[in-house]
Structure 1
Amino acid sequence: MDATYPFIDQWRAASEARDATEAAAALAEDVRLISPITEQFRFQGRKQVQDLLEVALDALESIKFTDQVADGDTVALFYEATVDRTRIFEAQRLRLDATGRISEITLYIRPLPALTKLMSRLGPELARRNGQPGLARVIPIASGMLHAMADGGERNFMPRAAPR
């Protein structure tokens, strides 16, 4: 594989444009996505990942990729965005197949309140899309409590632990 990454360029441009269909076109058919939220399941195949992308790109605003590091068939991307006015930073480890398409995505998100805010936006819609309307009603309650704890800790307790 040469040093150019046309599918990575496509992925970045489509993500910044919030175009899930175009982003999914950069994926291998058998892509898998490893969530930053849970180890309980993975998104498998282009269709599942595109469904997630549609929901995530709807929730995220002002996506701007800032850095790219590549080593052979592994590329790390970093971006900044907002979710409901909360700043979010994401790192993506992308593994490429022999054609250069993205075959594996591992996501890392910080800070914790941004992750919990994103979870509260994605969870209900993903549950609805999976035919689970009851779960879609419960997720905002559970994720809302988790977000309140994470956000409260970030704002009220962590500043007190800052180096002096």
Structure 2
Amino acid sequence: MIQPDAPSSADVPTNAETTTAAWRAAGERGDAEAAAACLAEDAVAISPLTAAFRFTGRDQVREMLIAATAVFSDLRYHTEVGDEHTRALFLTGRAGREQFEEAQLLRFDAHGRITELTLFGRPLPALTRVMGDIGPLLLRRQGRPGLARVVQAATAPLALLTRVGERRLVPLADPNRVRR
């Protein structure tokens, strides 16, 4: 007996709520492929690390998600607000030893697929850690290992300075700190 072809993910009816639930579950599992399945073909990702370029199209965003899942761990979404057109998600996680918080602004097409993903993160030491890890991973996946080494070497001092500054200098500006 011939079985009918199973519908592709693009054929399955969806909406922002079901897409968001799938997106969150994929993020918490570290499943870049499942996250990419939530994207529209023409999706755009806007990085918190650079304004120099955007990741355009499902394939480029998928590559960014693969690199991110290699760097991030312990993702836990805790807050979600929005509607069928736009949602904001908030989560915590780790990049190496650095804890971070991220906000994700998701925009959806008429089929409930993510068309735009804008990322915001804090604190600065975590962002510089992410920059130093994700950039080289992406470059290696693009077949540019030499440039990956240059980017890794260039971002290492920035990551070190922000980590030391966060732990040693920033506490000196704490308005609740007792002055001696």
2:122 matches 1:110: yes
Identity of aligned residues (%): 46
Counterpart position of 1:61: 73
Aligned residue runs from structure 1 range 1-164, under 5 A: 5-164=17-176
Q: How many residues align?
A: 163
- Give the CA deviation at 1:4: 5.9
SS at match of 2:48: coil
Task: Encode CA deviations 1:6-64: one digit per residue, 9 max, x unaligned.
Answer: 11110000110001111100000000000000000000011111111011011111110
Q: For structure 1, list consecutive stretches of 5 or more residues without a partner in the other structure.
A: none
How much is the aligned-residue C-alpha RMSD, in angstroms?
Answer: 1.4
Give the letter aligned to residue 126 of structure 2.
A
Which one has the largest radius of gyration? Answer: 2
Q: Matches of 1:50 and 1:3 in 2, distance apart?
A: 20
SS state of the match for residue 5, structure 1?
A: helix
1:149 positional shift: 1.2
SS class of match (1:23) = helix
Q: Which amino acid aligns with 2:143?
A: G
Deviates more, 1:4-13 or 1:73-82: 4-13
Q: TM-score, normalised by structure 2?
A: 0.87
CA positional deviation for 1:153:
1.1
Q: TM-score, normalised by structure 1?
A: 0.95
Give the AA of the match of 1:120: G
CA distance in structure 2 between the partners assigned to 1:128 and 1:4 by the alignment: 34
Structure 2 portions without partners, runs of 5+: 1-13
**Residue pair 2:77, 2:90 contacting (<8 A) in 1 also:** yes
Q: More displaced, 44-53 or 129-138?
A: 129-138
2: distance between equivalents of 1:123 and 1:55?
Answer: 8
Letter paired with 2:161: M
Residue 131 of structure 1: CA displacement?
A: 2.2
